[in-house]
Amino acid sequence: MFAGSLVTAAMVRVETQRDDALALGDEEFRALHAATARPLWAYLAAAGGDPALADDLLQE
pLDDT tens-digit readout, 22-50 = 788 899 989 998 999 999 999 999 999 99
Q: What is the mean pLDDT of the chain?
A: 81
Q: What is the pLDDT of residue 18?
A: 62
**b/e for 2-38, b at 16 or more Cβ within 10 A?**
eeeeeeeeeeeeeeeeeeeeeeeeeeeeeeeeeeeee
DSSP category for residue 58: T
Confidence of residue 1 (pLDDT cuts 50, 70, 90): very low
Q: Give the side-chain half-sphere CA count within 13 A for 11.
A: 6
Q: What is the pTM of this model?
A: 0.57
| Residue, of 1 and 38, whose pLDDT is higher | 38
Give me the numbers of helices (H) and strands (E) for the chain, helices first please: 3, 0
